Amino acid sequence: MNRPEVTFCATTTAKCVLSRLSEGEPLWVFAFGSILWKRRFDVAEERPARVRGWHRKFCLGPDTRYRGNPGAPGVMLSLDRGGQCAGKVLRMADAGREAALVHLLENEPPIPPAWVTAKTPQGQVRAIAFVIDKSFVGYCGGLCETEVADRLASSVGMWGSMAEYLMNTARHLEAIGIRDSYLARMEALVAERLARLPDRARAE
């Protein structure tokens, strides 16, 4: 997504993240959105996981390039405070880990990730998660679901549409037995809007 003017250095942040690990401790990343299906690093292990204290929400924007445009900006998923979220934890491969983490940070919003405790079938792991800071200039958590659906149904950018982003996330969660009721509602609302478009617009 387009970056606001925020002081953020991926290299410095990566070093800070890695300094928080004890010797030999793996780095886990909690995947709840596009990282589920668009991984930017080599994964050594993955597990279904649940994190408490955060919930998945379309509350990050505006995306005016990748899945949106200046005339129809998109809004992306992040983790907002409260509730719980089911997804996956991905263990980053040890080889080239620092460079891989820098690359990941460069492709996420310019906010340092938070440390979360993820519950997995094999036990708890400590992981980083890309959460939203409500003071961040791109926070748009005040949008109601109908407003979010309007944006998701109309936004298209160089990587495709927001409707595809929503569908990919929901399908990859369903593949591991997770049905997110929030995403299901958003899919229904977006489908209603797309059904009202002329045939030509739907094809495009």
**Mean pLDDT (whole number) for 121-134:** 97
Would you place residue 4 in the very low, low, confident or very high pLDDT band (cuts 50, 70, 90)?
Answer: very low
Residue 3 in domain: no
Whether residue 203 has pLDDT greater than 50: no
Residue 50 in domain: yes
Residue 66 per-residue DSSP state: S
Residue 69 per-residue DSSP state: B
**pLDDT score recorded for residue 20:** 97
Residue 5 in domain: no
Residue 111 in domain: yes
Range of the domain at 70: 10-203
110: domain CATH number? 3.10.490.10
Burial of residue 51 (CB within 10 Å: 0-12, 13-18, 19+) is buried
Contact 35, 113 (CB under 8 A): no
Domain count, the chain: 1
Whether residue 9 has pLDDT greater than 60: yes
As a whole number of angstroms, the distance between CA 14 and CA 11 comes to 5
